[in-house]
Amino acid sequence: MSNKLNAENSIVTIIIEMTYKEDVQIIKEFIKEESGTFIVSKVNRFEFFLNEDQQKATIIETFEDGDIFDEIAEKLLEISVNPKLLDIFEIKQIVILGKVRSDFKEEIKSLGADFRDAVGGFSPETKIPIVPDPGLIYGIHPYGDIYKYSSLIRDSS
Averaged confidence pLDDT in the chain: 74
Tell me: the pLDDT tens digits for 33-76?
Answer: 876 665 566 778 888 899 999 999 998 988 876 666 677 777 77
How far apart are the C-alpha atoms of 32 and 35, rounded to whole Å?
6
Domain ranges of the chain: 12-116, 126-157
Could you tell me the pLDDT band of residue 104, with boundaries at 50, 70 and 90? confident
Rounded to two decimals, the pTM is: 0.68
CATH number of 12-116: 3.30.70.100
> Residue 16's beta-bridge partner residues?
59, 94
How far apart are the C-alpha atoms of 105 and 126, rounded to whole Å?
30
The reported pLDDT for the residue numbered 80 is 67
Q: Lowest-pLDDT range, 2-6, 93-97, 99-103?
A: 2-6
How far apart are the C-alpha atoms of 106 and 104, rounded to whole Å?
5
